[in-house]
């Protein structure tokens, strides 16, 4: 019996499923993929794209092209609500869409509650398209004058963006850029001291200022104000405050975890609605909290594919094993990286070279489907 499989998002956790869409269709199922863009950008290479280490075409996957090539239907739109009882999803610009099996890889967003007034020259680090707009604006202003750039956030995203803005300005050579990171109370606070000290030293060598005097209270165009009312004038501001899962699950009354992500069991399946699945940043894994890093989405890839097919076909599900410790490499700009795997940590060009090799290999694998 023909069934409708709907995928929301074409991100990391759906890559294997997208690569095998033709297998669903050959079994008589209809597949629809919904996304806010015809491309999916690999966030792990976003900071490198900001510095022009990578071209946009090198870090993106042609979602629409692949879906249509394999016989599926692609809808350029956003999901705003789910009615799990009626098995329908509601789109921002379209009619309700029915489903038999539904899977979310809807990603995450950067909170912007601190912004007041107009948001001109304020850029979040997600989605990656925002970094493209920021890059163009930085280049435009650097052609005219020296720049002051502020980055709100104290984690690795802030560090990577700072380092790659430094590289972008250095390579342009027109004017200088003064970069400040508003890191709350402690920069890179959730990482071991050796990683934190290494990142601070890289920032110091590049004269990037790290401000640890308190949290940001308000962000306006051209101005960042801390909770102690101290403020800084800036030309461009980035928001790198960490990511939150999509709000559509909470708004639709679906079960969610403490972070607002779709609650899923060990099969990556919503416990209350077994025809709904999810992976990546938008889920909360009930068995154990998972960091918001791409490695888990990659590990979820084959399990989501197997379980979506199994649900459509009435077969047994496969449990997801998150695995052990994962490799972490930060792109600090200037082709310098910080490498961490278990107790091994080092920094320098070799760390960046390893990350560059892994990232390019990942992209080649899935771009080959195009």
Check whether residue 161 and residue 251 sit in a common domain: no
Same domain, 287 and 248: yes
Q: Which pLDDT band holds residue 117 (cuts at 50, 70, 90)?
A: low
Same domain, 230 and 250: no
- Residues 6 or more apart in contact with residue 289 via CB below 8 angstroms: 257
236 assigned to some structural domain:
yes
**Based on the domain organization, do 136 and 235 belong to the same domain?**
yes
CATH number at 267 reads 3.50.50.60
Per-residue pLDDT tens digits for 231-290: 999 999 999 987 777 888 998 999 999 989 999 999 999 999 999 999 998 999 999 988
Question: Is residue 345 situated within a structural domain?
Answer: no
pLDDT of residue 230: 95
pLDDT band at 156 (very low <50, low <70, confident <90, very high): very high
What pLDDT was estimated at residue 109? 61
Last residue of a domain, one of 213, 242, 271: 242
- Averaged over 291-314, what is the pLDDT? 92
235 with 247, same domain: the answer is no
Q: What is the mean pLDDT of the chain?
A: 92
Q: Are residues 306 and 318 in the same domain?
A: yes
Question: Which tokens belong to 166?
Answer: 């430094």
What pLDDT is recorded for position 293? 82
- Mean pLDDT score, 297-320: 95
As beta bridge partners, residue 237 has 122, 150
Same domain, 102 and 126: no
In a domain, 130, yes or no: yes
User: Does some domain include residue 343?
Assistant: no
In a shared domain, residues 226 and 126 = yes
Is the same domain home to 174 and 201? yes
pLDDT at 173 over 80: no
Same domain, 132 and 278: no
pLDDT given for residue 366 in this prediction: 85
- Whether 299 and 205 map to the same domain: the answer is no
Q: pLDDT per residue over 25-41, tens digit each?
A: 999 999 999 999 999 99
* pLDDT at site 351: 98
Q: Quick check: 6 pLDDT over 90? A: yes
In a domain, 51, yes or no: no
Q: How far apart are CA 195 and CA 171, in angstroms?
A: 26
User: Tokens 């594919």 identify what position?
Assistant: 305
Cα-based distances in Å from 270 to 5, 84, 101, 284: 16, 11, 11, 10
Instruction: With cut-offs at 50, 70 and 90, classify the pLDDT of residue 107.
Output: confident
SS (H, E, C) the chain: CCCEEEEECCCHHHHHHHHCHHHHHHCCCEEEEEECCCCEECHHHHHHHHCCCCCHHHCEECHHHHHHHCCCEEEECCEEEEECCCCEEEECCCCCEECCEEEECCCEECCCCCECCCCCCEEECCCHHHHHHHHHHHHHHHCCCCEEEEEECCCHHHHHHHHHHHHHHHHHCCCCEEEEEECECCCCCCCCHHHHHHHHHHHHHCCCEEECCECEEEEECCEEEECCCCEEECCEEEECCCCEECCHHHHCCCCECCCCCEEECCCCECCCCCCEEECHHHEEECCCCCCCCHHHHHHHHHHHHHHHHHHHHCCCCCCCCCCCCCCEEEECCCCCEEEEECCEEEEEHHHHHHHHHHHHHHHHHHHCCC
Claim to verify: residue 225 and residue 175 sit in the same structural domain: yes
Give a yes or no: residue 331 inside a domain: no
Q: Is residue 46 assigned to a domain? A: no
Q: What is the pLDDT of residue 51?
A: 97
Total structural domains within the chain: 2
pTM of the model: 0.90
Range of the domain at 203: 122-242
């Amino acid at each position: 019996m023909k069934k409708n499989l709907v995928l929301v998002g074409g991100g990391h956790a759906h890559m294997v499923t997208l690569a095998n869409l033709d297998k669903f269709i050959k079994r008589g199922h209809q597949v629809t993929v919904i996304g806010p863009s015809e491309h999916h950008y690999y966030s792990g290479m976003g900071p490198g794209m900001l510095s022009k280490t990578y071209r946009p075409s090198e870090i993106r996957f042609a979602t629409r092209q692949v879906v249509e090539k394999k016989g599926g239907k692609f809808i350029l739109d956003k999901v705003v609500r789910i009615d799990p009882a009626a098995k329908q999803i509601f789109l921002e610009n379209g009619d309700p869409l029915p489903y038999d099996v539904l899977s979310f890889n809807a990603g995450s967003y950067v909170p912007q509650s601190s912004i007041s007034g107009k948001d001109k020259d304020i850029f979040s680090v997600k989605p990656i398209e925002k970094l493209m707009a920021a890059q163009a604006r930085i280049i435009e202003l650097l052609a005219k004058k020296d720049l002051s750039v502020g980055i709100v956030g104290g984690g690795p995203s802030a560090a990577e963006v700072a380092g790659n803005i430094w590289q972008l300005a250095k390579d342009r050579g027109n004017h200088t850029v003064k970069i400040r990171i508003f890191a709350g109370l402690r920069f890179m606070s959730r990482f071991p001291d050796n990683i934190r000290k290494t990142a601070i030293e890289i920032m110091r060598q590049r004269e990037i200022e790290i401000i640890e005097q308190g949290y940001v209270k308000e962000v306006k165009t051209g101005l960042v104000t801390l909770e102690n009312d101290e403020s800084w004038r800036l030309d461009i501001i980035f928001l790198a405050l960490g990511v939150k899962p999509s709000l559509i699950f909470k708004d639709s009354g679906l079960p969610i975890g403490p972070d607002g992500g779709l609650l899923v069991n060990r099969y990556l399946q919503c416990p209350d609605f077994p025809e709904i699945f999810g992976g990546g940043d938008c889920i909360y894994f009930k068995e154990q909290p998972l960091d918001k890093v791409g490695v888990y989405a990659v590990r979820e890839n084959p399990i989501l594919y197997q379980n979506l097919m199994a649900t459509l076909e009435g077969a047994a599900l496969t449990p997801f094993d998150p695995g052990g410790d994962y490799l972490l490499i930060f792109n600090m700009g200037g082709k310098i990286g910080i490498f961490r795997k278990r107790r091994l940590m080092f920094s320098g060009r070799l760390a960046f070279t390893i990350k560059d090799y892994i990232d390019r290999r990942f992209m080649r694998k899935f771009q080959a489907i195009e």
